[in-house]
Amino acid sequence: MTFLDMLQTAGQRNASMLCVGLDPDPARFPGGWRGDASKIADFCARIVEATADLAIAFKPQIAYFAAHRAEEQLERVVAHIRRVAPHVPIILDAKRGDIGSTAEQYAIEAFERYGADAVTLSPFMGFDSVQPYLKYPGKGAFLLCRTSNPGGDDLQNQRLADVPGQPLLYEHVAGLAQGPWNLNGQLGLVVGATYPAEIARVRALAPTVPLLVPGVGAQGGDALATVQAGWTQDGSLIVNSSRAILYASSGDDFADAARRVALDTRDQLQAARN
């Protein structure tokens, strides 16, 4: 199945818009695992098992693996997701953005080495830095559009005087993803949950592309406002929560606690939609 097919299947089967972010920080692991980077795959596996029937997607953040020389553990985590939840797509959160020849190598990394179904990208080097990822049929690519960090205003909220209509930069990115860059229907957008008005604006400009929305949970994004701003019948909404789920408990019950938080978040999102 294509990434979009998997997204639709997982969303319907698990009645979910919740993406479980896998940002494993050994310093926050429970009990005797605390500080032990060799337990990254084991920790993530327990989270995946606890939330496999609640998630529309899993989103491993590559930096949390690479910082601990745990790329091989990331491969194991992806393989475990395929066994435990083969219908749930995997979004590799890498935020790559480089010239075309280098992007080709990053695309190999994301789709061939790690076997991800989609990847996050920075679009600010232009279309030729995105195009290599679109050569993989059925794979997805999420472009950073309006991020949740305060510094996002430095660039994303600046007006483009030389573009017709003088859109803000993030509005221009949304239009490109909905239109000329989305050659095979593979593109989505990343929009932070801390800016619901901007989510609504992006959705108006890009009514059919999937939106990946980080920031619900520990970062303070509001689930109700996020869904009201971004959910439509025609465009998938993928709402990510990482730390609030992963570190719901520092004890041996961490997986059970993660499931409780994930279930509550999943249900809040569904209730907001309904």
Catalytic residues, by residue number, are: 95
Spatial separation of the C-alpha atoms in residues 269 and 18, rounded to whole Å: 8
The amino acid occupying position 269 is: L
Integer Cα distance of 27 and 201 in angstroms: 38
Structure tokens at 264: 């509550």
The CA–CA distances, whole Å, from 133 to 2, 89, 102, 109, 250 equal: 14, 17, 11, 11, 38
* Torsion angle (degrees, nearest 10) of CA 55, 61, 64, 65: 90
- Distance (Å, whole) CA 271 – CA 139: 30
Q: Where does residue 112 rank: exposed (0-12), middle (13-18), buried (19+ CB within 10 A)? A: exposed
Q: List, as one string, the DSSP characters of 203-245.
A: HHHSSSS-EEE--BSTT-B-HHHHHHHH--SSS-EEEEE-HHH
Cβ neighbourhood burial of 119 (10 Å; 0-12, 13-18, 19+)? buried
User: Are residues 115 and 83 in contact, defined by beta-carbon separation less than 8 angstroms?
Assistant: no
